[in-house]
Chains A and B, each alone.
Chain A
Amino acid sequence: MGKLYDLLREDYRVKEGLKTCINCGTCTAICPAAEFYRYDPRRIVDTVQRGNDEDIEALLKSETIWYCGECLSCLTRCPRRNGPGLVIMALRDLSARLGYFVESEKGRQLYPLTKIMTGNILKYGYCIHPDTFSWEDHVESGPVWKWHTEHLEDSYARQGANFRGTGPGILRNIPKESLEELKKIFDVTGATERMETVERFSKAKAEEMGMTMEEYFRHTFEHCSDGHFNND
């Protein structure tokens, strides 16, 4: 077994999610992602199980590990109680740590995702916040959401929220000392380092693609090439 395989086996999600896969394909049959993407979790688990480092490296640089929606329906159905979704999470984690994620279009989406999610957590204390969930980037939220965002203070007040208020309640401003604690947690648990790694590899890739970081953000957030879907 190789070095990458050993790194994966250290991940608790692999310890829990990969016992002995019998290659039955139940996970693929039930998978919402496999229905639409060119995606086969059975093959991914089998590749990891075989432990060949060359194949695992190809997986870490591939599109396929980014198709999963992490619904974990596979965990319910697997007759051996494996969790292909958990194995995918470990693969993505390793791909991010090693910078391999920039080698695939879907992997490069880690840059906008990291900017949005970690930015929201550290600035607001929420994963999602009205300040960064614009109607323009989410037109499917419909005219009612457009109206809501144009009357944010009044609409949230009508809903009984404590929007930008102090004390407990809905969408309150989370106290500064709590946000500082989140930052310290990020620092000591590897999230800050992860953000820096994603930034560093993304910058190099953006330069290679001839884009500014703003252009790279929009491109990775919005662009979908042909070839990902079963019916492409």
Chain B
Amino acid sequence: MIYQGKQKIWSDYQKEIPDDKWYYVRSCIRQNFFPASEKMFLEICRNVLGKDIYENEHHTTCGGIAYHCDTIPQETAMTIVARQFALMTEAGYENYVASCITSFGNYTEILETWNEFPELEARIRELLWKACRKEFKKPKHLAHSSDLIFKFRNEIAEKAKFRLVNKETGEPLKVVEHIGCHYSKMFPSKGVGGAEYPYVLTGMVESWGGNIIDYPERRHCCGYGFRQYHVKANRGYSISNTHKKFESMAPYKPDMIITNCPGCPYFLDRWQYVIAEMEGKTYGQNGFGIPVFTYEEVAGLVLGYDPWDLGLQLHQTAVEPLLDKIGIEYAPEDKYKGVDSKDIMRPELPKVMKCF
């Protein structure tokens, strides 16, 4: 598709994103696997940009993963979400931002279903009152946390110490963007740029100096599939889908991958390690994999934060080749240190894929 065509699609899928006063809810998966990304989101919004992002200790899972593993009924998922909205209402906020794509999709689906079937919303209000004696207002605006970083991408670019540019050649880095399926595949109008050419990550990469790669399986699922990963017997589905994506993107020689979903960076990172161990194949240069990042990690890198403060040591696919390309300095000896440089040993190295 010609670039002007994409611009037209993007202009059709604009989304109003207020620039301040958000009620923030965390992601189950990201807290486990990318905790520093959530920390960086709050750091950037609150301390770099001076925004009001409020978090309440009483919020819980939205139940989205359990719902998509078919273990809880739809009314349960809806009432858990209604309780989250009640916490927002009690705190005096009207804008709701979720760290998780599954949650964002869950909230979107629920609000849209309630709009279409008001009797269901009324029933959920009754169930919430019965269970918790709580009432709620629906959010005026619902966003995923990547929507906010997208909105602030140019302010971040203005404060950036690095750009997504190869320091040796001066060329923009070649970046694969991967959008979580539940961001906009269900309700294209709720995501920045729609479902076909989502602009949320592309906009960040363009602002920060990189070039986006278009490749055939760009919109293919990472392979999470909920029950297809959480049950050990089903993981062939998960790795097969990731494998399909990497085979499709490999000829374009990407320097890095940026994602906005909790599970996708985990699967794109970890299944590269497994494919290397199983088949001896690596997709990066010189025996390395292709480094995979969350958008907060990339924002943190361009802003000049220490890679180990961003949690990049929890990746299985080495990030150092990308840091070296950009020219970001780091202390290799600090990679696996604890707080105050406490020695907490270091992981074993994979047998095939190069790692540090």
Interface residues of A (CB under 8 A from B): 11-13, 15-16, 32-33, 35-37, 66-73, 75-76, 83, 89, 92-93, 96, 106, 109-110, 112-114, 116-118, 120-121, 125-130, 133, 137, 140-148, 150-151, 154-161, 166-172, 174-175, 177-179, 181-182, 184-191, 194-195, 198, 220-224, 229
Contacts and interface: CB of A to CB of B under 8 A. Distances in A.
B342 A154 contact: yes
Nearest to B87: A178
A116 B29 CA distance: 14
B241 A127 contact: no
Contacts of B308: 158
Given A118-B72, A222-B232, A12 B113 contact: yes
Interface string B99-111: 0000001000000
10 contacts: A37-B237, A76-B188, A117-B65, A117-B71, A154-B344, A158-B308, A169-B55, A184-B130, A222-B232, A229-B236
B233 A188 contact: no
Given A113-B227, A185-B83, A189-B79, A72 B63 contact: no
A146 B347 contact: yes
Contacts of A144: 313-316, 347, 355
Contacts of B26: 170
Nearest to B70: A92
Nearest to A172: B57
A35 B69 CA distance: 20
Contact of B32 (A13, A130, A157): A130
A76 B196 CA distance: 9
B236 to A, nearest CB: 7
A4 B309 CA distance: 54
B238 to A, nearest CB: 8
Interface string B40-82: 0000000000000001111111011110111111111011100
B338 interface: yes
B225 to A, nearest CB: 3
A161 B35 CA distance: 6
Nearest to B69: A113
Given A76-B195, A194-B71, A16 B28 contact: no
- Among A16, A36, A92, A222, chain B packs the most CB atoms within 10 A around the CB of A36
Contacts of A189: 73, 75-76, 78-79, 127, 131
B71 A76 contact: no
Contacts of B17: none
Contact of A93 (B57, B73, B336): B73
Interface residues of B, number: 95
Contacts of A159: 35-36, 39, 311, 314
Interface of B: 26, 28-29, 31-32, 35-36, 38-39, 55-61, 63-66, 68-76, 78-80, 83, 105, 113, 116-117, 120, 127-128, 130-132, 181-182, 185-186, 188, 195-196, 219-221, 223-228, 230-237, 239-241, 244, 270-271, 273-274, 308-309, 311, 313-316, 336-339, 342, 344-350, 355
A157 B284 CA distance: 31
A113 B70 contact: yes
Contacts of A66: 227
Contacts of A179: 60
- Among B29, B185, B233, B347, chain A packs the most CB atoms within 10 A around the CB of B233
B234 A224 contact: yes
B347 A127 contact: no
Given A73-B221, A125-B60, A170-B35, A33 B347 contact: no
Contacts of A73: 181, 185, 219-221
A146 B316 CA distance: 11
Contacts of B219: 73
A91 to B, nearest CB: 10
A97 B239 CA distance: 31
Contacts of A147: 336, 345-348
Contacts of B309: 160
B344 A151 contact: yes
- Among B76, B120, B345, chain A packs the most CB atoms within 10 A around the CB of B76
Contacts of A117: 65-66, 69, 71-72, 230
Nearest to A138: B232
Given A113-B231, A125-B61, A221-B231, A154 B339 contact: yes
B12 to A, nearest CB: 15
A75 B131 contact: no
A127 B39 contact: no
Contacts of B223: 32, 69
A227 to B, nearest CB: 13
A92 B239 CA distance: 24
Contact of B28 (A126, A167, A181): A126
Contacts of B66: 117-118, 121, 127
- Among B132, B231, B342, B349, chain A packs the most CB atoms within 10 A around the CB of B231
B311 A167 contact: no
